[in-house]
Amino acid sequence: MAILLGKNINLRALEPEDIDFLFSSENNELFWEISSTQLPFSKYTLQNYIKNAHQDIYEAKQYRFVICDSKNLPIGMIDLFDFNPLHQRIGIGILINPKHQTNGYGSEALEMIIDYAFTYLNVHQIYANITSDNKNSISLFEKFNFKKIGIKKDWIFSNATFKDEISYQLINKKNES
């Protein structure tokens, strides 16, 4: 897959040299809540994941992009998942390393991936699920006109408490007559 180039970042495929970044991100307990992870991943498991990450989105129904800064250093990931070409929809999730947050990288990555999904994957809608306490993500997705379509009460159990999960949706209005 070609690199998607932005002004301050680029989105690219996972590469073998991303193993340390992936290992530290996937094994960071702060992120386990959003990934439903409960155990750490081994480097061996993640190397196999990277090895198979080249699968076409039409086959795998998902694709992970690495978000890189202007020096091509990984600062986050943006995932497309649950791709359904028949119903023209796809899910999205984004993770920016905390030390790189509030620099506009998330906004630029989300803008690029929305354009990619609507233009190249020909989806009609993109959806995201965000815990109600994740104010930064809520603000980011609402900035790009994602609309709140529902709340799943007590959906995520984390740190001995239940959290609501908000469902967001962005409809591609360009395809409507």
Residue extents of the structural domains in the chain: 4-175
17-68 per-position pLDDT tens digit: 888 877 777 766 666 566 566 666 777 777 777 777 778 888 888 898 999 9
User: Which residues lie below 8 Å from residue 47, measured CB to CB, with a gap of 6+?
Assistant: 16, 19
Running DSSP on this structure, what letter comes out for residue 54? T
91-123 per-position pLDDT tens digit: 999 999 989 988 999 999 999 999 999 999 999
Please give the CATH architecture assigned to the domain spanning 4-175: 3-Layer(aba) Sandwich (3.40)
